[in-house]
Structure 1
Amino acid sequence: MLKRFTVKNYKNFKDEISLDFSKIAGYQFNKDCLSMGLIGKMLIYGRNATGKTNFGRALLDIKTLLYGMFRNDENSVLINADSQEDTAKFIYEFQFGSDEVIYTYSRFANTELCDEELYINGEVVFKCDFKNSKFYFQGLSIINAETVNTNRYLNKGEMDNEYVLPFLRWFINNTAFSDNSVLIKLSKYVRKMDLITVSNNNQIHLSMFSYRKFFEDLKNPVYLHNFEDFLNLMGIECKLVLQELPDGQVELYFSQNKLVPFYSTASSGMLALTSLYQKIVSNLSLIYLDDFAAFYHYEMAEKLISFIKNKYPECQFIMTSHNTNLMTNKIMRPDCLFILSSKGTLTALCDATERELREGHNLEKMYISGEFEKYE
């Protein structure tokens, strides 16, 4: 699981900003917000333009680096406009059982790598300084990979002409590791990280592939029943039917006295909820849900958080919201509620006041009255 994330000089985050999943207070309620000794479910609040979406993009940068497509796109990694530094710095600290993995790298504005380092249990596995063409691979013996032919990687013929290939990406793809290898665990975790945002048309961005796969999954009666149960759990009482059309396509309907087409009659909130379900139903490791409650009544948003906690206890969920009704100890806890300030600081509510916050405190009332204003 992700233990700590730090980014510096990325877009509106000029100074270093960190999210520490291991900083847990001693609260004895809502322990389902925790997972394996780390924060598993959290809510981040922040005024408009504080960088909640940018923080999510920064957090998911590692997935783009290791598994995405590279482009020299100046908007992909944008250096802070007021900074004199020419790179953005990313630090990921993971915990897999008793193993601690730290992966750190810097990227220029055009997304190209400047440097890259990997540590396992405090020992250096490799260091790559692409800017100065200096490389250290002696630590590969730590993971019994000292026989890997690093000259193949360093050979320009093995590298793309348009960008510097991350060594970790090449290393994982060109080395036979056992299934219990810490690097295989890291690889699987990063692959299953995802960023989910709500678009202007109230829909969560989905690829055509995801949309088609959803309908293929609905052909399974168990999957259709689970989706129906999910909507009913969210307070939408309905019965669903999937029917095949004469052209071979399938259509989803509400089953009433007559069949009513689902997608043409569902409300914008229900469509956003459906799109979200299509994404979170996958087996993911970490999900950044940006402004997830924008189109939900606060009671539905509460039910959604409860569903997430019960259904996905081991998946780390980071949710951003402006809905202060969710700032409550009824479903969360002060060490899992954060404020992102316009200055680029991230502070848990339990650290944003001199009071000792307890289960009985009305956190929303305190927030609205300005109790935490210093950290906004």
Structure 2
Amino acid sequence: MLKKFTVSNYKNFKDEISLDFSKIGEYSFNADSLSMRLIYGRNATGKTNFGRALIDLKTLLYGMFRNDENSVLINANSQEDTAKFIYEFQFGSDEVIYKYSRFENRNLCDEELYMNGEAIFKCDFKNSKFDFQGLSIISAETVNTKRYLNKDEMDNEYVLPFLRWLINNTVFSDDSVLIQLFEYVRKMGIITVSNNRIHLSMFSYRKFFEDLKNPVHLQSFEDFLNLMGIECKLVLQELPDGQAELYFSQNKLVPFYSTASSGTLALTSLYQKIVSNPSLIYIDDFAAFYHYEMAEKLISFFKTKYPKCQFIMTSHNTNLMTNKIMRPDCLFILSSKGTLTALCDETERELREGHNLEKMYISGEFEKYE
């Protein structure tokens, strides 16, 4: 699991900003919220950017496509020429730290991997300096690093991350820490309000329908919508061209995607992301389309169905700022200055279960951290 993430000189975050899952308070209630973080912040504080920075690791290791909206990388007021990313993981008793930095064109400047405090490798692409002395620690001392350093591999137009190359060119056991790391990163995801419809219509649309051809999967999706308060009966039918179409079943069949509300479509997009058992999901502007009771139901659903998944959600919905479903060390404020602080660290009061956190927030208790 992810223990801590730190980024600096990225978009509006000039200084280091971190989210630390291992830093928790001494609260006895809602222990099932410890895998969740709910982030509040005024408009334009960088909540979306923070999510994109966090998911950058998946982009790096899996070569995901980046669209034009992510074209600006380096902080505009900085004199430094790279954005820096640090990921700290815990897999069983092993601690893994992966660091790298990118130039404005997104090419790698450097890359480092540590396991339990020992350096596995260090790559300084800018100065062409490489240290692979620690590969024996992960039983990869026989890997042919000269092949990686070959000019054919080291394309001037694109620097291939050594970690990505190492995984793809080495046989590791299934319980290897690196295999666990790669599998975790593969299952990371991000959901933003602006792209809910895009994901449905362009990326996951057909695959989702293929999955729903299984009656068990279709029933699970229907049960999910009903649990969220959307009473419906779903039917999947195969069209003459072999494609499938989803319908609401009423007195007659009603096409699902052309008639469903924006809230239902947002739930559908969310369901598509979480049904595959993700490792971490960043949900930007969570509850933007949901009534506060539905938003509470979703959080309870996450806790019950996906206890091993880490959820990071941003929101403006202060109804969720409550100890009824969360706790002060899981609720954060992202400031316009680029700081991310837990509510329990934003006041001199000792926050207890009975405190009305929403009322304190609205009254200005935490205003100096916004």
Same fold (TM over 0.5): yes
Give yes or no for the alignment of 1:245 onto 2:239. Answer: yes
Q: Do 2:333 and 2:342's aligned partners in 1 also have CA atoms closer than 8 Å?
A: yes
Q: Do 1:74 and 1:111's aligned partners in 2 also have CA atoms closer than 8 Å?
A: no
Aligned partner of 2:111 in structure 1 is 116
Aligned partner of 2:139 in structure 1 is 144
After TM superposition, give the deviation of residue 70 of structure 1 in Å: 7.5
Q: Do 1:204 and 1:275's aligned partners in 2 also have CA atoms closer than 8 Å?
A: no
1: CA distance, partners of 2:102 / 2:67: 11
Q: Secondary structure at the match of 1:110?
A: coil
Aligned partner of 1:37 in structure 2 is none
Query: Which residue among 342, 346, 359 is the counterpart of 1:365?
Result: 359
Aligned partner of 2:259 in structure 1 is 265
**Which region of structure 1 is more displaced relative to structure 2, 276-285 or 97-106?**
276-285
Aligned partner of 2:5 in structure 1 is 5
Q: How has the CA–CA distance of structure 1 residues 138 and 247 changed in structure 2, closer, same or farther, with 3 Å as cutoff?
A: closer
Q: How has the CA–CA distance of structure 1 residues 145 and 224 changed in structure 2, closer, same or farther, with 3 Å as cutoff?
A: same
Give the fraction of aligned pairs with identical amino acids, expressed as a percent. Answer: 88
Give yes or no for the alignment of 1:354 onto 2:348. Answer: yes
Aligned partner of 1:210 in structure 2 is 204
After TM superposition, give the deviation of residue 186 of structure 1 in Å: 0.6
Aligned partner of 2:39 in structure 1 is 44
1: CA distance, partners of 2:67 / 2:104: 9
Give yes or no for the alignment of 1:224 onto 2:218. Answer: yes
Q: Secondary structure at the match of 1:156?
A: coil
Aligned partner of 1:320 in structure 2 is 314
Give yes or no for the alignment of 1:174 onto 2:172. Answer: no
Q: How does 1:288-303 map to 2 (within 5 A)?
A: 288-303=282-297
Q: Secondary structure at the match of 1:260?
A: strand
Query: Which residue among 148, 157, 162 is the counterpart of 1:162?
Result: 157
Aligned partner of 1:30 in structure 2 is 30
Aligned partner of 1:307 in structure 2 is 301
2: CA distance, partners of 1:118 / 1:133: 17
- The one-letter amino acid paired with 2:340 is L
TM-score, normalized by length of structure 2? 0.96
- The one-letter amino acid paired with 1:195 is I
1: CA distance, partners of 2:72 / 2:96: 24
In structure 1, runs of 5+ residues without a counterpart are 35-39
Q: Secondary structure at the match of 1:293?
A: coil
- The one-letter amino acid paired with 1:367 is Y
Aligned partner of 1:286 in structure 2 is 280
What RMSD in Å do the two structures reach over aligned CA positions? 1.7
- The one-letter amino acid paired with 1:218 is L
2: CA distance, partners of 1:207 / 1:189: 26
Render the CA deviation track for 1:320-348: whole Å, top value 9, x for unaligned. 11111111111111111000000000000
Q: How has the CA–CA distance of structure 1 residues 256 and 206 changed in structure 2, closer, same or farther, with 3 Å as cutoff?
A: closer
Aligned partner of 2:182 in structure 1 is 187
Render the CA deviation track for 1:154-177: whole Å, top value 9, x for unaligned. 111222331111111111111111
Q: How has the CA–CA distance of structure 1 residues 182 and 211 changed in structure 2, closer, same or farther, with 3 Å as cutoff?
A: same
In structure 2, runs of 5+ residues without a counterpart are none
Q: Secondary structure at the match of 2:152?
A: helix
Q: Do 1:3 and 1:95's aligned partners in 2 also have CA atoms closer than 8 Å?
A: yes
Render the CA deviation track for 1:299-340: whole Å, top value 9, x for unaligned. 111111111111100010101111111111111111110000
**Which region of structure 1 is more displaced relative to structure 2, 173-182 or 262-271?**
262-271
After TM superposition, give the deviation of residue 247 of structure 1 in Å: 3.6
2: CA distance, partners of 1:187 / 1:332: 30
Q: Aligned pair count?
A: 370
2: CA distance, partners of 1:343 / 1:211: 39
Q: Secondary structure at the match of 2:194?
A: coil
Q: Secondary structure at the match of 2:272?
A: helix
1: CA distance, partners of 2:167 / 2:262: 42
2: CA distance, partners of 1:244 / 1:176: 42
